[in-house]
Amino acid sequence: MKIQNYVYGEWVDGKGDGAPLIDPVTGEELARASSDGVDLARALDHARSKGGPALRAMSYGERGALLGKINEVLATNRDKYADIALKNSGNTKIDAAIDIDGGTGTLFFYSRLAGKLGDAKYLADPGFERMAKDETFQGMHIWVPLHGAGIHINAFNFPSWGLWEKAAVSLLAGVPVFAKPATATCLLSYEMVRDVIEAGVVPDGALNLICGGARDLMDHLTGADAIAFTGSADTANMLRGNKNLIASSARFNAEADSLNMSLLGPDAKPGAAEFDLFVKEVSREMTVKAGQKCTAIRRAFVPTGILDDVIGALEARLAKTVTGDPRNETVRMGPLVNKAQQKVALDGIKQLSAEATVVTGGAEGFKPVDADPKMSAFVAPTLLKCTDPRAAKAVHDIEVFGPACTVMPYDGTGDAIALASRGGGSLAASVFTGDDGFANDISLGIAADHGRVLVVDEKVGDLQTGHGIVMPMCTHGGPGRAGGGEELGGTRGLRFYHQRTAIQARLDRLQTLADNAAQVTL
């Protein structure tokens, strides 16, 4: 089977043999994908010239209804998608649900959000700005959809969520989608887009897909385009350096890998609810999707006096995690996405072990359930202990994109804040404490280095959505190493796909503009 690309309003074959898509459990080749021979300049122009005008002719409410129709198509085929997620990504049922339902859930959220924007076709900041002594002449700020394409370059770990969380915001904004999923796991993205196209629910040019390599895609950008990237920091920096991107000043949003951390408060002794919640969350973040989440916990900080207690509790919990072929109902953790990622993860663990002790896991030759270690891409859940995090470097620099986490001690609030910042900027942090004062101090202290801070105590333990789960009503992104970008966050996400323009005019003219706009503070 050879996966096609959807461009120029038609399905197009790429030339050559293409890159193989592999089952990470069996090593079986599932399909091949290629974009060679696809005219990317023409494809982008089709999105801009056909998809853009069609979407902008619709109101926000109408585009919200479009998102609802996409969601209905995807919901009908959920079982098929779960099977693909197992075969091409090695997902357990829970892993697949996070990816598939995360994508459809975001579509649903933004389809509902559109109701608040109604029949308007542009947005406006509330209020006017007085420009002169005579109040007749004033100013206002409006937001209009960009006239380019939303170019979405996604990572291998979320072929559904990565695709639809970006598409939901872009389409609602009135900007056509030009999606480039990671080739290794693009089978799910392909099947989803094919189903939506065949259902005929999107205008021509509004949804486009490239399944093979990006090739010279960045060379065909214009200043009207907006590029939303998710992946490694190295790739983000490489793309940022593209001469055409720099020359065009096209918008570029990066959500990159980061050393996310979780912290146990000094009040949370063994036996406390917050202690147990912390252990549960760290182990879950290590094993869900085999740790292949950009938000997963990589560093866990605990009070010095209970370091061994935490290590023991985590080790005992991880020992119960059955790792192997997700087709076996007893399995709770699947493989990494391919052999290349397995090697990178194992190499990273070796580097960390130079300044941390491997408590459990970490070694090659791990024997998963119902899978051949030689053909599969498994890494055992790996817990490390670093007793001197202040002198250490690798644990704050190297992210193992897999089921690995390093536990470290801290002494007091100031030390915890300083150690947290050693990650260089992260997408997410979590704090487990019943102490209100500590919770507020640590939240404010680490906020500048994190895009999101989850604070958990016994009262919200059963309500909280999870350290690594991105919710569409809150922003997602982070400073520094995490890419410096921001997406989602309800209406805040629309900002990336709109141009804010100051209009200076007679007050009654401004009032007419305001009356026809959706009033939103972005």
Both 137 and 213 in one domain: the answer is yes
In angstroms, rounded to a whole number, what is the distance separating the alpha carbons of residues 83 and 92?
10
- Report, as an integer, the average pLDDT of 16-26: 96
In angstroms, rounded to a whole number, what is the distance separating the alpha carbons of residues 263 and 57?
49
Average predicted confidence (pLDDT) for the chain = 96
In angstroms, rounded to a whole number, what is the distance separating the alpha carbons of residues 334 and 93?
10
Instruction: Kindly tell me if the per-residue pLDDT of 265 is higher than 90.
Output: yes
pLDDT in tens, 125-162: 999 999 999 999 999 999 999 999 999 999 999 999 99
Number of domains in the chain: 2
pLDDT in tens, 458-484: 999 999 999 999 999 999 999 999 999
Both 234 and 351 in one domain: the answer is no
- Active-site residue, 294 included: yes
Instruction: Kindly tell me if the per-residue pLDDT of 363 is higher than 80.
Output: no
pLDDT in tens, 165-212: 999 999 999 999 999 999 999 999 999 999 999 999 999 999 999 999
Both 343 and 448 in one domain: the answer is yes
Both 306 and 403 in one domain: the answer is yes
- The pLDDT score that the predictor gives to residue 522 is 87
Give SS3 for 364: coil
Both 223 and 275 in one domain: the answer is no
Both 329 and 189 in one domain: the answer is no
- The pLDDT score that the predictor gives to residue 322 is 97
Q: Label residue 499 by pLDDT band (50, 70, 90).
A: very high
In angstroms, rounded to a whole number, what is the distance separating the alpha carbons of residues 478 and 206?
29
- Active-site residue, 405 included: no
- Report, as an integer, the average pLDDT of 281-293: 97
The answer to whether 102 and 470 are in contact (CB under 8 A) is: yes
- The pLDDT score that the predictor gives to residue 176 is 98
Give the percent of the chain with pLDDT over 70.
Answer: 100
Residue 25 is part of a domain; what is its CATH number?
3.40.605.10
Q: Look-up: residue for tokens 């040019």? A: 205
pLDDT in tens, 314-328: 999 999 999 999 999
Edge-to-edge order in the sheet of strand 5-7: 10-12, 5-7, 207-209, 177-180, 150-153, 226-231, 251-256
- The pLDDT score that the predictor gives to residue 80 is 97
In angstroms, rounded to a whole number, what is the distance separating the alpha carbons of residues 77 and 188?
11
Both 468 and 510 in one domain: the answer is no
CA distances, 521 to each of 86, 132, 354, 494, 512 (Å): 41, 24, 49, 11, 19
Q: How many CB atoms sit inside 10 A of residue 429's CB?
A: 29
Both 124 and 98 in one domain: the answer is yes
Both 169 and 222 in one domain: the answer is yes
- The pLDDT score that the predictor gives to residue 257 is 87
Which entry of 186, 294, 386, 405 is annotated as an active-site residue? Answer: 294
- The pLDDT score that the predictor gives to residue 1 is 85
Q: pTM value?
A: 0.95
Instruction: Kindly tell me if the per-residue pLDDT of 365 is higher than 80.
Output: no
Instruction: Kindly tell me if the per-residue pLDDT of 269 is higher than 90.
Output: yes
Closest CA to 292 of 89, 151, 472: 89
Both 510 and 420 in one domain: the answer is no
Both 252 and 167 in one domain: the answer is yes
Both 91 and 195 in one domain: the answer is yes
- The pLDDT score that the predictor gives to residue 220 is 96
Which entry of 255, 285, 486, 487 is annotated as an active-site residue? Answer: 255
